[in-house]
């Protein structure tokens, strides 16, 4: 039996297969309100109909000033709940599980308003200079993640993923490239981890469901986090009962990245082996055979697919055909999927 099509359980939430729709910003909210639109409903539901096991939303802003763009999806207000609830109903009606990626853009926010970061350095010469966060700003942001978790629960999500990758706010705290603070949130790996630590604890106070964290496992810079730092963070997340580390890379500072099939899988495998925490592999995973190899060789527990699922919402069916495996078709498609 193909491992790609075996179920997996996280804290009582059973995902029917190992295929996850990777979070992907659609910049499709209108009027800067962060709300779900008909496009989002169609877009995510189509992947659920296509038999993806876990449909993860795009980066969803926990604070208005934490959006990447004015069109980002948001969860900073109770007004967002009804749209997100409708989205969850549609995903669940099509037998998929739903996840929400909670995010704050930090210094990578492309907004007119003030933007925030651990230290007052812009991402690059074309970027706006952020304001260094005070302890009060830090506490408010930790609270915003907690409030977003409460709203995620009220909206019916099965899984929460914290976005701590790609050079956005949490990653900016984790990385020595962007964190030059002199207080307890900067300096040593332990101090740089403190912001993520506090967010995880705050979320856990209000959320007892599965919790994933996406990190950048490689910063492609000699002064960035080392593999040792990354393994330290992974150990800490395991201690905090995080269910899975979603292993991405890059984005903290401009860097050239060598991209090839499965380019992020190696570190994903190392984290899984060294810390025994479940991992998700992502990045140029395009075929069923490639996904199956990653799972069978215990290099990851889940595979996240981004662009492959944008190109083909029925990638799951194509992968099953490739692996000679029969999956149950959505009732409406039974005659066509034979």
Q: Which residues are annotated as a binding site for substrate?
A: 27, 163-166
Residues 171-230 touching ligand FNR, rule: CB under 6 A, are 214
Q: How many CB atoms lie within 10 A of CB 5?
A: 23
Could you say which residues in the range 303-332 bind ligand FNR, by CB under 6 A? 305-308
* Residue position matching structure tokens 């919402």: 313
Cα 150 to Cα 186: distance, rounded to the nearest angstrom = 28
- For residue 79, the Cα-to-chain-centroid distance in whole angstroms is 23
Q: Which residue is nearest to ligand FNR (CB)?
A: 306
Q: How far is the CB of 188 from ligand FNR (least distance, A)?
A: 26
Nearest CA-CA partner of 162 in 129, 124, 95, 207: 207
**Region from 18-26, 33-41, 169-177, 181-189 binding ligand FNR, contact rule CB under 6 A:** 18-26
Q: How many helices (H) and strands (E) does the chain have?
A: 10, 13
> What x/- string results for residues 32 through 71 when contact with ligand FNR is judged by CB under 6 A?
--------------------------xx------------
Nearest to 278 by CA among 245, 248, 236: 245
**36-44, 111-119, 225-233, 277-285 -> range binding ligand FNR (CB under 6 A):** 277-285
Would you say 106 or 181 has its CB closer to ligand FNR? 106
- The binding track of 235-274 with respect to ligand FNR, each residue x by CB under 6 A or -, is -------------x--------------------------
The one among 3, 5, 18, 22 contacting ligand FNR by CB under 6 A? 22
Q: Which is nearer to ligand FNR, 84 or 181 (CB)?
A: 84
CA neighbor of 120 nearest in space, from 110, 103, 105, 106: 106
Using CB under 6 A, pick the residue from 206, 255, 284, 327 that binds ligand FNR.
Answer: 284
Q: At what angle do helices 265-275 and 227-239 cross, to 10 degrees?
A: 50
* Residue whose entry in the numeric block shows the structure tokens 């980002």: 72
Task: Rank residues 244 and 282 by Cβ distance to ligand FNR and give the closer one.
Answer: 282
CA 167-168-169 angle, 5° bins: 120
State how far the Cα of 44 lies from the Cα of 16, in Å rounded to an integer.
17
Q: Please report, in range form, the residues annotated as the binding site for FMN.
A: 22-25, 59, 101, 214, 306-307
Kindly list the residues in this chain that would bind ligand FNR in the complex (CB under 6 A).
22-25, 58-59, 101, 163, 165-166, 214, 248, 282-285, 305-308
């Amino acid at each position: 039996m193909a491992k790609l099509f075996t179920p997996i359980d996280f804290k009582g939430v059973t995902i029917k297969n190992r295929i996850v729709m990777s979070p992907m910003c659609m910049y499709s909210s209108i009027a800067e309100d962060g709300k779900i639109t008909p496009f989002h409903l169609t877009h995510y539901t189509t992947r659920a109909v296509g038999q993806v096991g876990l449909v993860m939303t795009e980066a969803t802003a926990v604070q208005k000033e934490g959006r990447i763009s004015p069109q980002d999806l948001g969860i900073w207000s109770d007004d967002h709940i009804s749209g997100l609830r409708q989205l969850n109903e549609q995903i669940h009606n099509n037998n998929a599980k739903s996840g929400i990626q909670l995010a704050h853009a930090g210094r990578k926010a492309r907004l007119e308003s003030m933007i925030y970061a651990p230290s007052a350095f812009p991402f690059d010469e074309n970027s706006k200079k952020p304001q260094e966060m005070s302890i009060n700003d830090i506490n408010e942001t930790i609270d915003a993640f907690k409030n977003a978790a409460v709203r995620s629960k009220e909206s019916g999500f099965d899984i929460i993923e914290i976005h701590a990758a790609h050079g956005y706010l949490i990653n900016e705290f984790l990385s020595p490239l962007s964190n030059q603070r002199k207080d307890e949130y900067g300096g040593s790996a332990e101090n740089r981890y403190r912001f993520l630590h506090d967010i995880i604890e705050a979320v856990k106070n209000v959320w007892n469901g599965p919790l994933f964290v996406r990190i950048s496992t490689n910063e492609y810079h000699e002064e960035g986090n080392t593999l040792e730092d990354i393994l330290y963070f992974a150990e800490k997340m395991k201690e905090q009962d995080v269910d899975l580390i979603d292993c991405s890379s890059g984005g903290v500072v401009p860097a050239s990245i060598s991209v090839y099939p499965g380019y992020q899988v190696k570190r994903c495998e190392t984290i899984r082996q060294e810390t025994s925490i479940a991992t998700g592999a992502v990045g140029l995973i395009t075929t069923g055979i490639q996904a199956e190899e990653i799972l069978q060789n215990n290099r990851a527990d889940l595979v996240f697919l981004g662009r492959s699922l944008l190109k083909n919402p029925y990638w799951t069916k194509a992968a099953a055909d490739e692996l000679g495996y029969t999956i149950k078709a959505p009732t409406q498609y039974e005659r066509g999927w034979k």
